[in-house]
Chains A and B, each alone.
Chain A
Amino acid sequence: MNAQALLEIADDELILGWRNSEWTGIAPFLEEDVAFSSIAQNEIGHARALYEIAARDLGTTADELAFDRRPEEYRSSTFVELRLVPDWAKTIARHWLYEQADEQRIKALMESDDPEVAGLAAKIDREETYHRMHAQMWFDRLQDEPRFLAALDELRPLVDRRREHIPDFAEFWEEMTVVRRSVAGATW
């Protein structure tokens, strides 16, 4: 398995997990706050596991891949980078579109010749099944809402756009990595 291809997925999962975790404490109601935060945490967990496999190929560590690369080295899609708080309809539109696209990608990984990659993909897919259920419940609930349909139309073309990062990606990267860089030479 090509480590760069794994990084693309891992970066998406890390950054989407970050963006979704921005809803922690401010989601529309408490049960959803817990649920959506848990999904965010799962995505970051998937990122960690994928970074670990890539790190072995690249002779580095998962943390270094997640936090020590330069902003321009991230391979994430613009789609996951967008900050959508406080627009819940857009957030759910992205969640649903992402889970659909991610399903194809993870199913392809499950067919990998590398048993480690295929095994991890199967584990991830079992968790993603619940994410997909969650996204679908929300889709069913919002499917007649014009603001949700507009959000789907707006976001759909961005799903796999990797030509450029969001304009303020450098600020985003700064925030994501500032703690890690805050103490020189620290080995957290």
Chain B
Amino acid sequence: MIYEVFRQERKGQPFQHAGSVEAPNEDFADWYAREQYGRRGESVALWVVPREAVHEIGEFIDELERNYHRVDGYPLKEKLKEARERAGTAGDR
């Protein structure tokens, strides 16, 4: 069985994928994860998850290219400039 291991570097931070361990059951997986990703003080907590429990989604449909859904599809720089000019505050910053 493959278990995916996520580790948290400091309290309050998000867990990030650290790697995986192969183990015959959960007890072994926990032990091996602790050994490989927590022994050197590099983690304050680990999540150990059977690989099957992870749902992977790798397909994202955007047939109509609605680029305003995307961060890079909606540039604010020009719009801000125009708005500032209209308001007469251009050059204030």
The residue on A at minimum CB distance from B31 is: A134
Nearest CB in chain A: distance from B22 CB, A: 6
**A34 adjacent to B27 (CB under 8 Å):** no
Of the listed residues B25, B27, B35, the one surrounded by the most CB atoms of chain A closer than 10 A to its CB is B35
Interface magnitude class on chain B = 10 to 19
Nearest CB in chain A: distance from B78 CB, A: 54
A188 within 8 A of B: no
CA separation between A133 and B24, bound complex, in Å? 15
Nearest CB in chain B: distance from A82 CB, A: 25
Nearest CB in chain A: distance from B21 CB, A: 5
Within 8 A of B (CB), among A1-45: 29-32, 34-35, 38
**A31 adjacent to B39 (CB under 8 Å):** no
Per a CB cutoff under 8 Å, which of A30, A34, A38, A137 touches B28?
Answer: A137
> Which 6 A-B residue pairs are closest in the complex by CB-CB distance?
A31-B32, A137-B27, A35-B35, A31-B21, A38-B35, A137-B28
Interface magnitude class on chain A = 10 to 19
7 contacting pairs across A/B (C-beta < 8 A): A29-B22, A31-B23, A31-B28, A35-B31, A35-B32, A38-B35, A134-B31
- Decide: A38 near B22, CB < 8 A? Known: A133-B31, A134-B31, A137-B27: no
A70 within 8 A of B: no
**B27 adjacent to A31 (CB under 8 Å):** no
Residues from chain A with a CB closer than 8 A to the CB of B27 are 133, 137, 140
Binary interface encoding of chain A residues 67-98 relative to chain B, with 1 for a CB under 8 A from any of its CBs, else 0: 00000000000000000000000000000000
CA separation between A160 and B73, bound complex, in Å? 73
A141 within 8 A of B: yes
**A38 adjacent to B21 (CB under 8 Å):** no
Residues from chain B with a CB closer than 8 A to the CB of A140 are 27
**B35 adjacent to A137 (CB under 8 Å):** no
CA separation between A30 and B32, bound complex, in Å? 10
B36 within 8 A of A: yes
Residues from chain B with a CB closer than 8 A to the CB of A133 are 27, 31
